[in-house]
Structure 1
Amino acid sequence: MRRQLRIGTQALLLRGGGALLLIAGLGLAAVTERGLLAHHLAAARHGGDVVQAGARGPQPGQHGSMVLVSGTPDVVESPHDADFNLTVPTPVLSRRVEMFQWREVRAGGVHYELDWSDELQDTARFEQPRGHANPKAMPLRGERFMAGKVKVGGFELEPMLVRALPGTETVAPDPSRLPANLAASFSLYHAYLTTSVDPGSPRLGDVRVSWQAVPVQPVTVFARLDGNRLVRASLADDQGYQVQVGERSLSDVLPDVPEPPEFTTARRAGAIVLAGLGAFLLLWERRRRVGDVVLALAVGVTAIGAVSCASWLGGGWPPVLAWLAVTAAGVLVVLLLHRRMARA
């Protein structure tokens, strides 16, 4: 009597423990896949699933993915201002041209003052043009010069991303490198070139030219990988890319996108092991064959595959079909083992 009671209690404990392990495995699988689904759906609004790249550049299988990469830009082909023979190792070089002109100021009446302006002030539009005539044209124009090729972390940036690189710093020109025709007209004053004979007291029509460059500093770029280039994601709900200063995490760049679960492969394997161990304990009374271990593992794979498949419903067909195939394979193994054991 006591032996039967002990055996019954042992069986009850084994079944209870098996059920708990099976439920734990199913729960771990559901949490993992739902976390991946939440990340996938949020990332889709910004262009698609995210690959957090290292410094090795594009890798096989990454094409079409959204890439998050940090690093200091590598300017492979520096921009060049041919007019002033100025080359700067920067992603973007901007030239600003200003002329000392009359401008009309309307504040408590109309008055006129001489000041630097990078736009031609049209005297014909002045209320009192007499005595305030400006030159008819700007002798030079401002321009922006782009680097021929810029890379971050081994990924080449398309021109739109290069233009989006943040920050500016003043570039002092080298008068000794000026072409002869400009060297006769311009001289260095502070960090710009000017045609003024007395830079401290400019006269009407004097010109000054200055340059600004995007600093070469650590940045983080988020964009779509096309071949070996990062480009704007045209199907994203927002602008399709992000460029920020410094090394940033995914949550910094896209705060509305949750981080995907860590150690996904280990978590999935752990879920299968827990579910398989739970099934083995539930089948403990059948422990007469080595095949029971394989049967329990197949039951675990089937259960985890079914839960994972259901977790991905509404999140895209590829993971649903992949987990459906895993479930079908598990069911097939269970049926074959059950039939073999029944024959034996």
Structure 2
Amino acid sequence: MTVSATPRALFASALAVLSLLPAAPASAQAEPEGFPDPGAALVDPDFKVGTREFGLDRRVEMYQWRLGERGYEQVWHGAWIDSAGFDAAHANPPKLLLDNRRWWAEQPTLDGKPLDPAVLRSLGEWRVLRPGFSRLPANLAASFQPEGEGLGSAENPLEPQIGDLRVTWRELVLPPLAGKVALRDGAWRLVEDPVAPRANPPATVAATPPQHAQRMWPFFGSGLVVIVAIAVAARRRRRHHPK
């Protein structure tokens, strides 16, 4: 029996067979198609201020005494100023009379799949929220009135007194997420984790093959088996049927 095909021709034929094999199915959606959804509305339980965005931030300032380079001065400040070392005429209230608080969307989604909270904290942008106060509880409505972008407790906003409060709110919005998130392990996650160290030189990165390469391996593995089998068969035929 005469072998008409050379090993090189057999190798080329095997490669042609491999080219006809179906490509591995995509392992993940490459880019978001829709818009992120924060889920349930966030509401400040005290003031009934709400938002349909991804975060709600309540900022409280109290009018207090502060000891500066020029002596005692009155300032709006977002944290309690300890006046234990001040004289009696410049004493502040014993604490901030209302807490600063922040709420995050609990079940945000994108294209129907969970959105990792790290996306909100890394990519979210805080912007001023100018709420209506139609749901303000009666007890707070008696103590606060609209002032600037929020509420204030001063009877005369132009002449606040020590201990008066100002309350404002911000909401967290997300920018377009295309190119910034990827679908991994069933959830949308940051393309680059800002906490994790960056990859070292290419040799380190190449140590672990990409996920899609791992999924393609069965196809290439079977193809290589075909090539090896053809080459071995051709060699045996040459031994049994020398020219």
TM-score, normalised to structure 2, is 0.70
> 1-side partners of 2:233 and 2:167: how far apart?
83
1:155 is matched with 113
Question: Stretches of 4+ moved more than 4 A in 1?
Answer: 254-258, 313-325, 337-343
How far does residue 324 in structure 1 lie from its aligned partner after superposition?
5.0
Report whether the alignment pairs 1:332 with 2:229: yes
> 1-side partners of 2:216 and 2:135: how far apart?
64
Q: Is the 8 A contact 1:79 1:89 kept in 2?
A: yes
> 2-side partners of 1:78 and 1:224: how far apart?
25
Q: Is the 8 A contact 1:100 1:114 kept in 2?
A: yes
1:116 is matched with 76
1:140 pairs with 93, 98, 101, which one? 98
When residues 216 and 55 of structure 1 are mapped into structure 2, their CA distance, relative to the original with a 3 A threshold, is closer
> 2-side partners of 1:160 and 1:229: how far apart?
11
How far does residue 136 in structure 1 lie from its aligned partner after superposition?
1.1
**Map 1:89-104 → 2, pairs under 5 A:** 89-104=52-67
For 1:112, the aligned partner's letter is Y
For 2:62, the aligned partner's letter is M
Q: Is the 8 A contact 2:116 2:189 kept in 1?
A: yes
Report whether the alignment pairs 1:167 with 2:125: yes
When residues 133 and 223 of structure 1 are mapped into structure 2, their CA distance, relative to the original with a 3 A threshold, is farther
Structure 2 alignment gaps of length 5 or more: 1-7, 16-26
2:37 pairs with 54, 59, 74, which one? 74
> 1-side partners of 2:104 and 2:96: how far apart?
23
What CA deviation, in whole Å up to 9, does each residue of 1:46-78 have, x standing for no partner?
A: xxxx9562336xxxxxxxxxxxxxx64322222
Q: Is the 8 A contact 1:96 1:210 kept in 2?
A: yes
Structure 1 alignment gaps of length 5 or more: 1-17, 26-49, 57-70, 242-253, 259-312
Q: Is the 8 A contact 2:30 2:183 kept in 1?
A: no
1:182 is matched with 140
When residues 196 and 239 of structure 1 are mapped into structure 2, their CA distance, relative to the original with a 3 A threshold, is same
Q: CA RMSD in A?
A: 4.0
How far does residue 80 in structure 1 lie from its aligned partner after superposition?
1.4
Q: Is the 8 A contact 2:28 2:184 kept in 1?
A: no
> 1-side partners of 2:80 and 2:181: how far apart?
39
> 1-side partners of 2:118 and 2:67: how far apart?
37
* Helix, strand or coil at the partner of 1:100: strand
How far does residue 152 in structure 1 lie from its aligned partner after superposition?
3.1
How far does residue 90 in structure 1 lie from its aligned partner after superposition?
0.9
Q: Identity of paired residues, percent?
A: 30
When residues 101 and 223 of structure 1 are mapped into structure 2, their CA distance, relative to the original with a 3 A threshold, is farther
Q: Is the 8 A contact 1:78 1:148 kept in 2?
A: no
When residues 237 and 229 of structure 1 are mapped into structure 2, their CA distance, relative to the original with a 3 A threshold, is closer
Report whether the alignment pairs 1:130 with 2:88: yes
How far does residue 79 in structure 1 lie from its aligned partner after superposition?
1.5
1:204 pairs with 154, 157, 162, which one? 162
Aligned length: 212
When residues 256 and 201 of structure 1 are mapped into structure 2, their CA distance, relative to the original with a 3 A threshold, is farther
Q: Is the 8 A contact 1:55 1:154 kept in 2?
A: no
* Helix, strand or coil at the partner of 2:39: strand
TM-score, normalised to structure 1, is 0.51
